[in-house]
Amino acid sequence: MMNIYRNNEKNGIGTNGHDACNVEFLAALCSGLVNHKPSNLQDILNAVALITPLLNAIPSVVFFIKDIKARYLIANLTLATRCGFKSISSLLGKTSSEIFPAQMGSCYTEQDLRVLHQGVIIQNQLELHFYHGRKAGWCMTYKLPLYNQHNHIIGMAGISHDLMEVKENHPVYQKLAIVDDYIREHFDRTIRLDELTHLTRLSVAQLERYCKRIFHLTPRQMIHKIRIEKASELLATELPITDVALRCGYTDHSAFTRQFKTSTGLTPSDFRQSIGLE
C-alpha cells in the first residue's frame, strides 16, 4: 500500500511558493462565474476557454466545469494528468463515476449532483484524494453551482488545491509544532480546544489564526486529518473496522464511516476492498 504520509510533492502532487496566488486567482474566477449569470452555459465555456493556458500552468490545482448532468465540459491539464490521461479531451463528456475507481467515482458524482440539484455550496472541505497509480494527497475542495439569468442552475464549477506545505519558518512555528505533536499523540480520544489553548497559552482566536497560517488548517481540521491518516493505515491491516474507529477516536462507528467517506470518497469497507483486503 502507498504511504499516505508522504507529502503531496513527493507523490507527484506538488506545491510551490505561488500556491496562494493560484488559489486566490481561481477563487476569484469561480466567484466571477457565479455572479455573471449568463444566458447559457456556453457563454461561460467560451470565456474560460480564453484562459485555458493559465489553468494548465497551475500544477497544484485541479479546476473543472461540469454540465447539469455532472459531465466534464472543461478541465485543466493537472486533473487529466492525475487521472492518468495524456490529454484533457479524454475527460470531456464523462462523469467522475466514469473516471475514478467505482466507489470513489460514485461518491464524487453524488457530491456533484447535490450541488447541481440542490444548489449546495461546498467550500473549504478537506479531502484525501487518490489518483492514477494510487498516488494520494490532501486537498481543499470547493464546488459552486452556476446559475443563468433566470436563476436556474445550468452547471457547476469546482477547484481542489493541494494542501500547502507547513510554514516552518514562521516566527511562532515552534509554539504551534507542539500542537501537531500533541494531536498525533492523543488522536485516539476526544481533544478539546481548551487543551490546545492551555498548551500554547494562546486564545482560541489566536490558535485558529496561527494554525491556518502555518498548517493551512483549523485545529479541528488538523485533528480530522491525522485521524483519517491513521485510520487509512490501520485499514490496511486485518484489524476489525470497529476497532479501527475506536483507535482513531471515534466512539460511534457510523460517525467514523461518514467522516471517512466524506474525506476519501470511500467507506472504510470500500477502502479495504480497493487495496485488496476484502
Query: What digits encode the pLDDT tens for the residues 124-157?
Result: 899 988 776 666 789 999 999 999 999 999 999 9
Overall fold of domain 173-270: Arc Repressor Mutant, subunit A (1.10.10)
Give the residue among 225, 270, 264, 230 at the shortest CA–CA distance from 246: 230
d(CA 260, CA 148): 35
* Residue 26 pLDDT: 67
Q: Which pLDDT score is estimated for 133? A: 60
Cβ atoms 14, 164 nearer than 8 A: no
The pLDDT of 249-263, averaged and rounded, is 92
Long-range contacts of the stretch 242-246 (C-beta < 8 A, 24+): 244/268, 246/188
6-20 b/e (C-beta count within 10 Å ≥ 16 → b): eebeebebebeeebe
Q: Does 14 or 258 have the greater pLDDT score?
A: 258
Average pLDDT, the chain: 85
Helices (H), 16-132: 19-36, 41-49, 52-56, 77-82, 96-99, 102-118
Query: For the domain bounded by 19-162, which CATH number is listed?
Result: 3.30.450.20
Confidence of residue 166 (pLDDT cuts 50, 70, 90): confident
Domain boundaries, the chain: 19-162, 173-270
Q: Nearest-CA neighbor of 62 among 127, 149, 10?
A: 127
- pLDDT (tens digit per residue) in 14-60: 344 445 555 666 667 666 776 778 888 999 899 888 888 888 988 88
- Count of C-beta atoms within a 10 Å radius of residue 52: 15
Is the predicted pLDDT of residue 7 greater than 50, yes or no?
Answer: no
Rounded to an integer, the average pLDDT of 70-92 is 93
> Which one, of 200, 264, 254, 204, lies nearest residue 228 by Cα?
264
